[in-house]
Structure 1
């Protein structure tokens, strides 16, 4: 994996991204910012997964049935959270691939810019707000 030390040093702050003129949309500096944000998210998710794995390996047998039930419920919730994070990890990897192929930041339905504010809120977004709303309306009407 390549390092992006030079790009990381000059990453724009969120406010600078929001204030950037439209012609700078998905400039190399903006792409570097989102690449770094996605990589940080990825690293945090992997660390959580490792911590959960270690926690489950160290699980002790508990004799009391209510303590055991509580512990099992906690593990179930933890595993459910890790499953959601695993799905997010796939979305992060897909977003990183889009950065590399030049399609990051553009709606997969319309080809229009997704928008900096939306990408700051959800760096893995693949649809503009309008396209997302249309998709959700269609799902409500047609049931998925």
Structure 2
């Protein structure tokens, strides 16, 4: 799980590097100004593009043919690696859905505002997690409720 999360962070970092580094949103500006919204729109589109490019590599490998390791241990290891790769791609497919949702929120003028409280999510949180839909406090309360309901 930690490896998958680190892959997501690496892909987001790669998307950030692809942006023109001349602008970074700050807390000193008007919250969700046109410039900030444009920054997050471009970041989200670049993140999505980076994910799709990574998945093309997986598709190419799948099309090259089945695993043909003669040794059973090597074959099992290769199949395990493929399973992990495919789960990672499925996770990223779900992430693309969240990116698309964030882009729709930008277009609707709802991006950057907590879907629970209506409060600003915050530039720092959105910079770290551009698909965030809740403030840190609302997210923690949500996770706590979720844990309590699972324990029942």
Secondary structure at the aligned position of 1:104 is classed as coil
SS of 2:76's partner is helix
Q: Give the distance between the partners of 2:138 and 2:57, measured in 1 at CA.
A: 37
Distance in 2 separating the partners of 1:12 and 1:137: 39
Number of matched pairs: 132
Aligned to 1:20: 28
Measured after TM superposition, the shift of residue 26 of structure 1 is: 0.6
CA distance in structure 2 between the aligned counterparts of 1:83 and 1:74, rounded to whole angstroms: 14
Deviates most, 119-128 or 64-73: 64-73
Deviates more, 1:59-68 or 1:114-123: 59-68
Say what the alpha-carbon RMSD is for the aligned residues: 1.8
CA distance in 1, matches of 2:60, 2:28: 44
Instruction: Name which one, 1 or 2, has greater alpha-carbon Rg.
Output: 1
Partner in structure 1 of residue 144 of structure 2: 137
Question: How far apart, in 1, do the equivalents of 2:141 and 2:71 lie?
Answer: 52
Residue number in structure 1 paired with 2:7: none
Match 2:99 to one of 77, 80, 92: 92
Aligned to 1:49: 55
| Distance (Å, rounded) in 1 between the aligned partners of 2:28 and 2:99 | 24
Unaligned runs of 5+ in 1: 1-7
- Aligned-residue offset at 1:47: 0.6
Q: What is the deviation of 1:140?
A: 1.7
Partner of residue 6, structure 2 = none
Q: Which runs of structure 1 show a deviation greater than 3 angstroms over 4 or more consecutive aligned residues? A: none
1:76 corresponds in structure 2 to 83
Normalising by structure 1, we get a TM-score of: 0.85
SS at structure 2 position matched to 1:140: helix
Q: Which runs of 5+ in 2 are unaligned?
A: 1-18
Q: For residues 52 and 123 of structure 1, do their structure 2 counterparts lie closer, same or farther at Cα, with a shift above 3 Å needed? A: same
Residue in structure 1 matched with residue 72 of structure 2 by the alignment: 65
The answer for the alignment partner of 1:4 in structure 2 is: none
| Contact 1:12–1:33, Cα closer than 8 Å, also in 2 | no
Normalised to the residue count of structure 2, the TM-score between the two structures is 0.80
1:63: Cα distance to partner? 2.4
Task: Tell me, in whole angstroms, the C-alpha distance in 1 between the residues paired with 2:34 and 2:99.
Answer: 19
